[in-house]
């Protein structure tokens, strides 16, 4: 039996500034430079998604 998976992206869960701050602080505590940069890119993606959902206007 094959296990079906789907892509997971932490950016989907970072909804508030506080979420982003806590996420980045975790990497700053004991992450490598590469991990910190990856966390920063993840936060940028989450903000792009948040801003684009706001600019789409109300759902009908």
Predicted local confidence at residue 49, as pLDDT:
84
CA–CA separation, 41 vs 46, rounded Å? Answer: 9
Is 35 inside any structural domain? yes
Is 4 inside any structural domain? no
Average pLDDT over residues 54-59: 57
CA–CA separation, 33 vs 47, rounded Å? Answer: 21
**Domain extent at residue 40:** 22-52
Is 60 inside any structural domain? no
Instruction: Please give the model's pTM, rounded to 2 decimal places.
Output: 0.75
Is 15 inside any structural domain? no
Is 45 inside any structural domain? yes
**Count of domains for the chain:** 1
Is 37 inside any structural domain? yes
Largest CA distance in the chain: 45
Is 14 inside any structural domain? no
Task: Tell me what percent of the residues of the chain surpass a pLDDT of 90.
Answer: 77
Is 3 inside any structural domain? no
């Amino acid at each position: 039996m094959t296990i079906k998976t789907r892509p997971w992206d932490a950016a989907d869960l970072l909804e508030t500034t506080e979420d982003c701050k806590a996420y980045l602080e975790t990497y700053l505590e004991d992450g490598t430079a590469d991990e910190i940069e990856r966390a920063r890119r993840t936060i940028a993606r989450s903000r792009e998604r948040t801003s684009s959902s706001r600019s789409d206007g109300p759902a009908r």
